[in-house]
Structure 1
Amino acid sequence: MAKPTYFYGIHAIEALLEYRPMDALSLFVQQGRESDSHVQLIMAQAQANGVSLQPTQKDNLTQLCGSPQHQGVVLHARPLAFANEAILDKIVTRDQCLLLVLDQITDAHNFGACLRTAVAMGVDAVICPKHHAASLTPTVAKVSVGAAEMMPIISVTNLARALSQLKSAGVFVFGTALNADAKPIHAADLTGKTALIMGSEGEGMRRLTTESCDELVYIPMSGNEHGNLQSLNVSVATGMALYEVNRQRTLAAVQA
């Protein structure tokens, strides 16, 4: 069994206590913060689930979680596990399933920010490769403000094979790239079963990932015919791309 770790941040801990309270072991609360309404809610959640409460000095919290951004609460809990790949079999049966694929996103802050946006934009699951990808660390949980707990995050051994299986299930795979044959993202039909791939900021998608795409798209930006996807932080680009998916689907629903 994975070694317990220390989660920090109000929203990350609230989500953990809501979605997997049995994994929570001990809650450390900064002395003097007990009157804070958010902290009180977390304390109540913890007590309702039999989690022990331990008043602690601020500096001790920082030492426990390795960050000063704990907001007065640190939760000793079992780590979040990646979801089983088999869950995709159920997800792809949905008429408008939306999957976000993160290819070689290794920075925990970018990964967490992408997860936060994914939940906000109605993504059904996030897929990432087993290697050359960020893990589900407490930093990812904090940056995602709890989103990491709210949807399946699936780690696959062979991304190209996973994409092939999605395509066999009727999912249309879009990759973001600056290739000459890429089209503006707003010109693509994103209203059906969709998988959207975002590559790393430096290298973009890997060759096999690119070859697995049904269509390549880019985000147009002012002053440049093809924009410059790599000039955007990957989490910002992810937000812009998913917003376009959401925009198209909302418009299609209104027109139906």
Structure 2
Amino acid sequence: MPGNSQRRNRRTSSKKGSTSGSGGHHKHSLAGKGRTLPADERPWHKQYRPGENEQLPKRTKWKQEKERRKAAAEGRAPKAGGRRDASPASGRRGPRVSPGRRSSTPKDAPELLVGRNPVVEALRAHVPVTALYVAQGIELDARTTEAVRTAGDRGIAIMEVSRAELDRLTGGVLHQGIGIQVPPYEYESFEDMLAASGEAPAPLLVALDGVTDPRNLGAVIRSAAAFGAQGVFLPSRRAAGMTATAWRTSAGAAARLPVAQVTNLTRALKQCQQAGFVVAGLAADGDVPLYQLEASVDPIVVVAGSEGRGLSRLVGETCDLRVSIPIASEVESLNASVAMAVALAEIARIRTA
């Protein structure tokens, strides 16, 4: 019954009682906090620049030293800022990089080629190497011993690092405890390549239209050098560049044959036509069989398309000839590098016949 409840001090009304004030002790919380400091006046901000006699906070100095060491190991200039850590003022965090994912690196940064077989093959092919990284405690075998001995004979810096450091440098890629650092490739000027090719008795150039596999690029460069081409040019966007993988696949030919990047491949092909070249594109539905290519004895540019779609529409329309390679009906098409090797070999045969 009401009034017989055993629970004491039970509130029976929904209204709150009177509350006591703070006595003016909390009035400072209502005061304004002043102006918001700009970035260059906040010691914790990445754009902050201290004065001549001003000392940086300990954590900021640590972050800058860490970035400096990382940049020195990768052979680049230190970045002005990096991943934002917790801010002393707000406590908020900036974007994080997921573990095991490679962060964005500058386009002209050195590249690491890892793995025991790739490293040995690259050294055998005389790929330009600036450093050899070997993990501490690595199990030595014939390949590792050959890599270290070759690097020592050529005066290449040998860096012994921890496995954790090599994991960081490679972005989590399986490296087998060894890797080499390859400098950025120096591309030839397309205009210089075109002018130099005109001095040859029978000029021959190779163009690639959107080939995205660096192994195909390296194989094409190797074939172009083997069959007497004066150079290779390719688009600077949406196409493979001269990475460490392309270096290795070219078996050292990239050090002897000029390679150029162009902003617009169609415009570059038209420049070749104005210079007196015949532009022949390799296409499965081409109307000129390769073995009947009479233009082989003339100055010629051979163009290969991408691995999937072949020649793009604009490039195909720019070509003077569309050349097909006769193959068995059971085979749909040839790999871009294989098709280029077959075409260059036939052109070389016709020229020497």
TM-score bracket relative to the smaller structure: 0.7 to 0.9
Q: Is the 8 A contact 1:33 1:39 kept in 2?
A: no
Partner of 2:262: 156
Q: 1:123 to 1:221 in 2, by over 3 A?
A: same
Within-5 A mapping of 1:123-138 = 123-138=229-244
Partner of 2:278: 172
* Greater helix content: 1
How far is the alpha carbon of 1:174 from its aligned partner?
Answer: 0.8
Within-5 A mapping of 1:28-177 = 28-29=133-134, 32=140, 36=145, 40-45=149-154, 47=155, 51-55=156-160, 64-65=169-170, 74-88=179-193, 89-177=195-283
Q: 1:153 to 1:29 in 2, by over 3 A?
A: same
> Residue 197 of structure 1 aligns to which amino acid in structure 2?
V
Q: Is the 8 A contact 2:283 2:310 kept in 1?
A: yes
1:155 counterpart SS class: strand
Q: TM-score, normalised by structure 2?
A: 0.58
1:132 counterpart SS class: coil
* Greater strand content: 1
Partner of 2:120: 10
**Which runs of no fewer than 5 residues in structure 2 stay unpaired?**
1-75, 77-107
Q: Is the 8 A contact 2:205 2:229 kept in 1?
A: yes
Q: Is the 8 A contact 2:284 2:333 kept in 1?
A: no
How far is the alpha carbon of 1:55 from its aligned partner?
Answer: 4.4
Q: Is the 8 A contact 2:204 2:229 kept in 1?
A: yes
Q: TM-score, normalised by structure 1?
A: 0.77
> Residue 243 of structure 1 aligns to which amino acid in structure 2?
A
Q: Which is greater in Rg?
A: 2
Supply the distance in 2 between the matched residues of 1:94 and 1:169 (Cα, whole angstroms).
13
> Residue 117 of structure 1 aligns to which amino acid in structure 2?
S
Runs of 4+ in 1 over 4 A off after TM superposition: 33-39, 55-70
Supply the distance in 2 between the matched residues of 1:220 and 1:143 (Cα, whole angstroms).
27
Q: Is the 8 A contact 2:236 2:263 kept in 1?
A: yes
> Taking every aligned residue pair, what percent have the same amino acid on both sides?
31
Q: Deviations over 1:10-55 (max 9, x none)?
A: 34345333xxxxxx5422357635885565334211x1xxx42234
- Residue among 222, 228, 250 paired with 2:328: 222
Q: Is the 8 A contact 2:151 2:157 kept in 1?
A: no
How far is the alpha carbon of 1:184 from its aligned partner?
Answer: 0.7
Q: 1:67 to 1:141 in 2, by over 3 A?
A: farther
Supply the distance in 1 between the matched residues of 2:175 and 2:205 (Cα, whole angstroms).
30
**Which runs of no fewer than 5 residues in structure 1 stay unpaired?**
18-23, 252-256
Partner of 1:239: 341
Higher relative contact order (CA 8 A, sep 6+): 1
Supply the distance in 2 between the matched residues of 1:98 and 1:120 (Cα, whole angstroms).
12
Q: Deviations over 1:54-73 (max 9, x none)?
A: 34689976875576578x86
Q: Is the 8 A contact 1:174 1:213 kept in 2?
A: yes
Q: CA RMSD in A?
A: 3.0
